[in-house]
Amino acid sequence: MSNPVYYADVVLPLNLVQPFTYLLGASPVAVGQRIIVPFGKQKFYTGIVLRCHQTQPQRYEAKEVVFIYDEPPLISEIQINFWSWIATYYATPLGMVIKGALPSSFLLESQSVVALKPSAETAEDCSPLEQKIILALGEGPLSMKALGKAVERVNPMSGVQKLIQKGILELYQQVDEKYRPKFENHISLAASYLKDLDALHPVFEGLSKAPKQKSILLTYFDLYTPDQPLVSQKLLLQKAGAKSAALNALVDKEIFETHQIQVNRILFSEDVEKQALQALNTAQQNALSAIQQAFEKQNTVLFEGVTASGKTEVYSHLIEQVLQSGKQVLYLVPEISLTTQLVERLRTYFDSSLKVYHSRYSLSERTEIWEQVQQSDPSAQLILGARSAVLLPFRDLGLIVVDEEHEASYKQNDPAPRYQARDAAVVLGQQTQAKILLGSATPSLESFFNAQQGKYGWVQLKERFTGVSLPKIQTIDLKEAHRNGAMQGAFSNELIKAIKTTLEAQKQVILFQNRRGYAPQMTCGSCGYTPQCSQCDVSLTYHKYDHQLRCHYCSFQMQAPHQCFACGMSTWDTKGLGTQQLQAQIQNLFPEVEVARLDWDSTRKKGAFEELFNRFDRQEIQILVGTQMVVKGLNFANVHLVGILNADQLMHYPDFRSHERCFQMLCQVAGRAGRAEEPGQVLLQTYQPEHPLILQVQQYDYSSFILDELHQRKTFEYPPYIRLIQIRLLHQQLDVVQQAAQWYANVLNSYQIATILGPTTPGVARVRNRYIQEILIKFKGVSERNQIKALLPKIQQSFDSIAPFRNTRVQVDVDP
Ligand code: ADP
Ligand code: ZN
């Protein structure tokens, strides 16, 4: 008997459908272990072991593994199972999921560029290779290839990885200015005094003539603890009521030392006082018990609670219990940079266990949190993050809270994997027995449907915590206002009057205009009519270049009409009004007040959002004009009036979810008014005040709306009654992409498994120089889904072999 020879099936972080088999030799490796392997011409990648076995591959000769990391498996079986589900369900190679889930510092490859860390201490006990690497990088960052030349090694990766682990090297990356780590000055007592506090007596006496300095020193002792001698400089000066000159004097006297400490940019107020959880009121207590009972029977519970009912407090009670049991908790939010108030609140309860995870943090920050989660570090037992946090390597997850579960941003559009983090969380819950709580005031139709069908538990909380009734929503008929000449720009006289009254009462105003996902439409400026597709029940999209109206789903198209079908006027508007123009208009109407704008453009600069937010909170700004950013998680006590400039734009967005989104957003916007003691006021401008959706919004009647909407979805065959997969093809030449899409649609059609719609041209027909065509696959059951998913790679293979279609990108989007 000869000795056994081992092979490993390795998944590489690349867009490859199959894992590759590599030769290990005499010793096996564990599943989930990291290894470096050659791939292609002189390229190396870090891969993850999926399987270790003794079967030699049939179709090719296995190449030898280059390096095996000397560490326990990086990826646990939990992650391999979960990521594999994502890969299969979202029709994406597992390698792409791994690439999305693992910080790139774990995935060194031959194209990686590395640099010495500026702060690195000189290295001790380094191997000769490691020393050579340090020397070579002393001149500046190098690619792995150049570094290999410099140290005369084809592959210096193993040495590089060791040095990264030792904190001497880092992957070099151009850090986005917005997300640079943020440093703040901290103060500590000089080391000699920290060791011997009695030595401070003469110092105090010496300060008798410098009261400010003395006060700083005394304040320092209020703030410091023996195991945390560092105190934020800002906080110290603020509490001592002193200026930095006094502090500098103490530093000069070598009583204090200054330190630059990297702070988490989201946790902008340095210090929180830990507080016990709020006691729940009866309604909240009942909801909590109901949730706990439901969890005994079901993994997933939908928690439907009106705005300001105190869902967050209920979550917090659940979280505390799970943390006490020693398990990990994930708190998902739609958009992390808009959650400053939530972070503050969670910190007061869970500061020492809470970490915020953001996909746009620096690589080293992400790596650090990733490792803490993987090691079940108590300081990261509770993770607050946006959708990508669901991919973190939880070991022992007890609970996932998906807050505002209806939000569209839980879906990743680009790049692959195009996953829905809420749905993925539900699956992760099934795989790991973690409990999943989906919270929302206006649940998604999908979750509502699942709750209705008994798939999820379902708990409702209908009272607002403060008992304040929801603000009254009053509509303003834009048709009539236009007819009567009662408009100034985009503002009706009625709205202007209400703004004026509000400002006179020293209250603040929020004006809302949605622009996100803006699609060109034709809307009649006189009556507000927007042409619809008769088959798909969505608005038609206006294409300027050929003056056509098209359906985004089926291939219906028509010449754009001259006159409105509804009122016969020729007053088409195809642009819609941006927040910038609105800001200008309102500033013109109220030249003496401070108006600010909150949208992605105005908050791109680092810290801009926080600043705007703080200024509005301090009432230095009276009117805030914004996109849906104004509605997310913000809670300003002094806002009395919310004005919605044009509800119709939201309603007519060409998407089958536009009514659902419209309702959700209008409710959320309305919820911004008058959250404190007195009810607020909401004015909603619309061309269709009699539209059922608007009437239901006015009543906050989400259940009636959902029942109507479910009926529509059933009639026109949309989710949750059927499932969708969208195929998107992109190419630089229009005729190529059109032919390619037609070919693809024909092939799909020939199998007769599902309804194939399209190819069609989307509203935004060309992105980054590439023309886009879309095909929609509609189908009912699981077996159709599996058939289609099995087909797609085969179709893709034939597609790839057609020469004229080369360089056409094909993207698959499951549950778009
Ligand atoms: P939701 O998430 O449902 O919109 P929040 O959790 O933000 O509601 O609660 C709304 C407000 O009511 C917050 O200011 C919160 O601090 C307060 N609140 C809710 N429940 C309690 C409670 N049990 N005790 C004290 N304050 C509460
Ligand atoms: Zn259509």
Q: Whose CA is nearest to atom 6 of ligand 1?
A: 310
Tokens of 793: 């790679």
**Residue with the larger pLDDT of the pair 200 and 693:** 693
313: CA distance to ligand 1 center in Å? Answer: 6
Question: What is the model's pLDDT at position 199?
Answer: 83
CA separation for the pair 210, 248 (Å, rounded): 13
Number of CB atoms found within 10 A of residue 136's CB? 18
- With the most atoms of ligand 1 within 8 angstroms of its CB, the residue from 282, 313, 636 to mutate is 313
341-353 pLDDT, tens digit per residue, is 788 889 999 988 9
Question: What is the model's pLDDT at position 605?
Answer: 67
Cross-strand partners of 125: none
**Residue with the larger pLDDT of the pair 286 and 113:** 286
466: CA distance to ligand 1 center in Å? Answer: 8
Q: Whose CA is nearest to atom 23 of ligand 1?
A: 280
What DSSP character marks residue 653? S
- With the most atoms of ligand 1 within 8 angstroms of its CB, the residue from 282, 312, 316, 348 to mutate is 312
Which band of pLDDT confidence, cut at 50, 70 and 90, is reported for residue 182?
A: low
Question: What is the model's pLDDT at position 178?
Answer: 34
Q: Give the closest residue to 417 by CA, choosing from 68, 102, 173, 38.
A: 102
What are the residues whose beta carbons fall under 8 Å from the beta carbon of 234, sequence distance 6 or more?
184, 185, 270
Tokens 């190819």 correspond to what residue? 759
CA separation for the pair 249, 251 (Å, rounded): 5
Span 690-719, mean pLDDT? 94
Percent of all residues in the chain with a pLDDT value above 70, rounded to a whole number:
92
Cα 776–chain centre separation: 26
Tokens 């009053």 correspond to what residue? 474
Span 454-471, mean pLDDT? 88
Q: Give the closest residue to 709 by CA, choosing from 511, 445, 363, 533.
A: 445
Percent of all residues in the chain with a pLDDT value above 90, rounded to a whole number:
47
541: CA distance to ligand 2 center in Å? Answer: 10
Question: What is the model's pLDDT at position 696?
Answer: 95
Which band of pLDDT confidence, cut at 50, 70 and 90, is reported for residue 160?
A: confident
SS3 650: helix
Tokens of 111: 């194209």
Ligand 1 atom nearest residue 280's Cα: 23
Kind and range of the H or E run holding 289: helix 282-297
Residues contacting ligand 1 via CB (< 6 Å)? 278-281, 284, 305, 307-313, 465
- Residue 631, pLDDT > 60, answer yes
Number of CB atoms found within 10 A of residue 193's CB? 18
CA separation for the pair 800, 795 (Å, rounded): 9
145: CA distance to ligand 1 center in Å? Answer: 56
Q: Give the closest residue to 161 by CA, choosing from 41, 36, 23.
A: 36
CA separation for the pair 205, 701 (Å, rounded): 70
- The count of C-alpha atoms lying within 13 angstroms of the C-alpha of 152, restricted to the half-sphere facing its C-beta, is 4
Highest mean pLDDT among 170-184, 311-325, 603-617: 311-325
DSSP conformation letters of 505-573: TT-EEEEE---TT-----EETTT----B-TTT-SBPEEETTTTEEE-SSS--EEEPPSS-TTT----EE
- Residue 803, pLDDT > 50, answer yes
Q: Whose CA is nearest to atom 10 of ligand 1?
A: 308
Question: What is the model's pLDDT at position 600?
Answer: 67
553: CA distance to ligand 2 center in Å? Answer: 5
CA separation for the pair 39, 555 (Å, rounded): 43
Question: What backbone torsions phi and psi does residue 413 show, to the nearest 5 degrees?
Answer: -95, -40
What are the residues whose beta carbons fall under 8 Å from the beta carbon of 418, sequence distance 6 or more?
90, 92, 411, 412, 811, 812, 813, 814, 816
Its pTM stands at 0.80
Question: What is the model's pLDDT at position 509?
Answer: 94
Which band of pLDDT confidence, cut at 50, 70 and 90, is reported for residue 179?
A: very low
517: CA distance to ligand 1 center in Å? Answer: 31
Tokens of 325: 């049991």
406: CA distance to ligand 1 center in Å? Answer: 20
Ligand 1 atom nearest residue 279's Cα: 23
226: CA distance to ligand 1 center in Å? Answer: 35
- Residue 736, pLDDT > 90, answer yes
Cross-strand partners of 474: 683
Q: Give the closest residue to 350 by CA, choosing from 317, 377, 392.
A: 317
Ligand 1 atom nearest residue 403's Cα: 2
| Closest ligand to residue 676's CA | 1
Q: Whose CA is nearest to atom 5 of ligand 1?
A: 310
- Residue 176, pLDDT > 50, answer no
- With the most atoms of ligand 1 within 8 angstroms of its CB, the residue from 317, 404, 465 to mutate is 465
Question: What is the model's pLDDT at position 381?
Answer: 97
| Closest ligand to residue 758's CA | 2
- Residue 562, pLDDT > 90, answer no
Which band of pLDDT confidence, cut at 50, 70 and 90, is reported for residue 651?
A: confident
Cβ–Cβ < 8 Å for 473, 630: no
| Closest ligand to residue 717's CA | 2
- Residue 266, pLDDT > 50, answer no
Question: What is the model's pLDDT at position 267?
Answer: 42
112-133 pLDDT, tens digit per residue, is 778 887 666 666 678 888 888 8
Q: Whose CA is nearest to atom 9 of ligand 1?
A: 310
CA separation for the pair 87, 73 (Å, rounded): 20
Which band of pLDDT confidence, cut at 50, 70 and 90, is reported for residue 177?
A: very low
Q: Output the average pLDDT for the chain.
A: 86
Which band of pLDDT confidence, cut at 50, 70 and 90, is reported for residue 269?
A: very low
Question: What is the model's pLDDT at position 204?
Answer: 83
DSSP conformation letters of 669-733: HHTTS--SSS--EEEEEES-TTSHHHHHHHTT-HHHHHHHHHHHHHHTT-TTSSEEEEEEEEESS
Span 513-531, mean pLDDT? 71
- The count of C-alpha atoms lying within 13 angstroms of the C-alpha of 603, restricted to the half-sphere facing its C-beta, is 18
Kind and range of the H or E run holding 142: strand 142-143
| Closest ligand to residue 537's CA | 2
Q: Whose CA is nearest to atom 27 of ligand 1?
A: 310
Span 493-501, mean pLDDT? 96
Cβ–Cβ < 8 Å for 186, 202: no
Helices (H), 187-281: 191-195, 201-206, 211-223, 233-240, 244-252
Question: What is the model's pLDDT at position 270?
Answer: 57
Question: What is the model's pLDDT at position 311?
Answer: 94
Question: What backbone torsions phi and psi does residue 213 show, to the nearest 5 degrees?
Answer: -65, -40
Question: What is the model's pLDDT at position 730?
Answer: 94
Question: What backbone torsions phi and psi does residue 445 show, to the nearest 5 degrees?
Answer: -60, -35
418: CA distance to ligand 2 center in Å? Answer: 24
CA separation for the pair 94, 795 (Å, rounded): 19
Question: Helix crossing, 340-350 with 311-324: angle to 10°?
Answer: 40
Cross-strand partners of 458: 302
Span 467-491, mean pLDDT? 88
Q: Give the closest residue to 399 by CA, choosing from 353, 358, 359.
A: 353
Question: What is the model's pLDDT at position 601?
Answer: 67
Cβ–Cβ < 8 Å for 15, 92: no
Ligand 1 atom nearest residue 466's Cα: 12
Ligand 1 atom nearest residue 306's Cα: 3
225: CA distance to ligand 2 center in Å? Answer: 66
Question: What is the model's pLDDT at position 422?
Answer: 98
CA separation for the pair 511, 642 (Å, rounded): 6
